[in-house]
Every structure is written in structure tokens, then in C-alpha cells.
Amino acid sequence: MFKKKEGGGFFDRLKTGLEKTRKTLASGIEAVIFGERAIDSNLYEELEAVLVGADVGAVFANELIDEIKEEVKRKELNNPAALKHILMERMAGILRSVDKPLELPENGPYTVMVIGVNGTGKTTTIGKLAHYFREENRSVMLVAADTFRAAAIEQLEVWSKRAGASFVKQKMGSDPSSVVFDAVKAALNRKTDVMLIDTAGRLHTKSNLMEELKKMKRVMGRELPGSPHEVLLVLDATTGQNAVVQAKMFNEEVGVTGIVLTKLDGTSKGGIVVRITNELNIPVRFIGIGEGIDDLRPFDGEEFVKAIFE
């Protein structure tokens, strides 16, 4: 089992990284409930506007407003200040429902296929994941199955050296499934703990590219039953609604088991984490809150909510 790293230092960085979201969401909520306000239709509208502005999604916003209305109706809520606590509990509950750590299989390599569109920071994310797993004393192999760009292969090889991971590649233009086939054989022979597979960045609307991902999955499953053990979709948090669209499409076409959300430090709409989890029921495995190699960490829902509101 991969344990979440402890330490106040990272929590402080998490709070700093989520500063823009905190200003939009937490500060927005504080402004709505400030003073001795009545809980009425105006307050509901203002609260919903803040939630939508933080990109938590209309579904979550509507559910929360309905819950508040029910509590007011039952006369269990008459203080606007309590709204913040309800919001925190609801957000944490949604994130907690799918908060499951990654687990290594008993035998053989733990295979992770990393997918996503261009520009999300996919290859860099793989490099940072390699560093993370090496810090956990796991042997790691990076696989260059993005054979369309020479720069992608070169970039991944640089990361493999930086992280102390082994590296598998073929010449540019090779069949990605052939690369994966060779990599699985090598990982089994070397008794590698974790195999991270880089795939070509692709538009989620291109069916031929999706078919290529499916073929890679079939090849892996044939050579190593049960693999890939994880299909990680890398999403750019700054793209908001588009990230949700990408997640839905990739999940329908390929089957996504986990999400890496990058660039959370660059957006005020960090509520996208709640939206993706609530609407798609896919766990967020890792989040990126900075440029540093240690700024990609396992996601902790409780910690995330605290970093926004405390």
C-alpha cells in the first residue's frame, strides 16, 4: 500500500497552492454569511453563486442548497455561520467516499498507464510519480509509449535518470503496443515494482487514438493478467468544465481508475476536485500544487478541505 506522506511542511504548501481557490470559495462563503443575516432566498442565491464560481458543479451546489433548506425547515439550522461547517462536511464526505489508496499486487509489477490530452503536464507528472515511488523505495520503470514525438521520448528518458528509474523505449514511430509488450516482459524479468507508461497526448474526441489505447490495454492484459492495474488520467485543473468533459469521455472509452489533477495552484476553481468525484465517482489519486518535484502528492480529501477553509 502506498501511504500518504505526512508532514506539516506539505500541508503548508498545500494551503499556499490552494490560495486562489480559498479566496474564491472560503472567503466567498465568509462574505455571504458575515453579520447577522437571515437564511432566506437571497442568501441561498449568493451561496450558490459562490459555489458555482469555485466550479464545484451545479449538481453539488443544488444538493447543498436543498440540504440547507431542509435543515432550516426542520428548524435545526438558524445560524448562517453553520453553513460553512455543513459545506465542509459535505465536501469531505464526497471526497472520502472514493478515497482509496493504491495497493501493490502480491506478485509482479504494478502497472500504471498514464493518459490524457496534450498540455496537461502528463510526461512531467510521470517523472514526478517516478520520484515519489523511488522515495518509497520502490523500483520503477518508465515506458515511452508516446512514439509520435521524439521530444516526449527524450523528456521521459531525462526523468528516468533524474528519478533513478529504468527506461524502455523504441524508435520514434514504433507501434506503442509493441513498446508496451517489450516493457511488460522486461518488468517481469527485472521484478520491477512499478511500471509507469507514458502515452501520446490525444484529443478525447479522436476515436482512432482511443482505439490505440484500448489495444495497449489488451496487450498488457494478455502478457500480464490484471494489467494495467491503474489507468491514470491527467487533467489540468485550470481548464475547469473541459476537464470534466475529458474525464467523462476517457472513462467511457477506456475506463479510468484514477485521476491526477495538475496545476491546482494556478486556478481559483479547485472545487473541480469535488465536481469530478461527485459526478463521475472516480477517485483523485494525486494532485499537483506547484512546479517542484515534491509538489505532486497523494490526494487526501480531508486535508484538501481543511487547506481551503482553515
pTM reported for the whole predicted model: 0.89
| Helix/strand/coil for 259 | strand
pLDDT in tens, 209-237: 888 999 999 999 999 999 999 999 999 99
Question: Angle at the Cα of 272 (from 305 to 277), degrees rounded to 5?
Answer: 80
Judged against a pLDDT cut of 60, whether residue 126 lies above it is answered with: yes
Q: Using 50, 70 and 90 to split pLDDT, how confident is the model at 125?
A: very high
Q: Using 50, 70 and 90 to split pLDDT, how confident is the model at 37?
A: confident
Q: Which range (98-112, 251-265, 276-290) has the least confidence?
A: 98-112
| Helix/strand/coil for 147 | coil
Backbone angles phi, psi at 258, to 5 degrees: -165, 160
What burial letters (b/e) apply to 40-53, b meaning 16+ CB within 10 Å? eeebbebbbebbbe
What's the pLDDT score for residue 3?
A: 45
What's the pLDDT score for residue 194?
A: 96
Between 13 and 204, the more confident residue is 13
Q: Where are the alpha helices (DSSP H) in 98-206?
A: 122-135, 150-163, 176-190
| Other Cβ atoms within 10 Å of 217 Cβ, number | 18
Whether the Cβ atoms of residue 295 and residue 17 lie closer than 8 Å to each other: yes
Q: Using 50, 70 and 90 to split pLDDT, how confident is the model at 292?
A: confident
Whether the Cβ atoms of residue 303 and residue 58 lie closer than 8 Å to each other: no
C-alpha cell at 204: 478525447
Q: Which of 144, 284, 125 is nearest to 200 (CA)?
A: 144
Running DSSP on this structure, what letter comes out for residue 287?
E
Q: Which range (4-13, 28-37, 153-162) has the least confidence?
A: 4-13
Mean pLDDT of 97-101: 79
| Helix/strand/coil for 72 | helix
What distances in angstroms separate CA 98 from CA 105, 156, 247, 271, one per listed residue? 20, 30, 16, 16
C-alpha cell at 94: 464526497
Question: Angle at the Cα of 18 (from 45 to 57), degrees rounded to 5?
Answer: 35
Sheet-wide strand order for 258-262 = 166-168, 140-144, 194-198, 110-115, 230-236, 258-262, 284-288, 296-298
Q: Using 50, 70 and 90 to split pLDDT, how confident is the model at 7?
A: very low
| Helix/strand/coil for 24 | helix
Alpha-carbon 224 to chain mean position: 25
What's the pLDDT score for residue 205?
A: 59
| Helix/strand/coil for 32 | helix
pLDDT in tens, 228-282: 999 999 999 988 888 899 999 999 999 999 999 999 888 888 889 999 998 899 9
Judged against a pLDDT cut of 70, whether residue 60 lies above it is answered with: yes
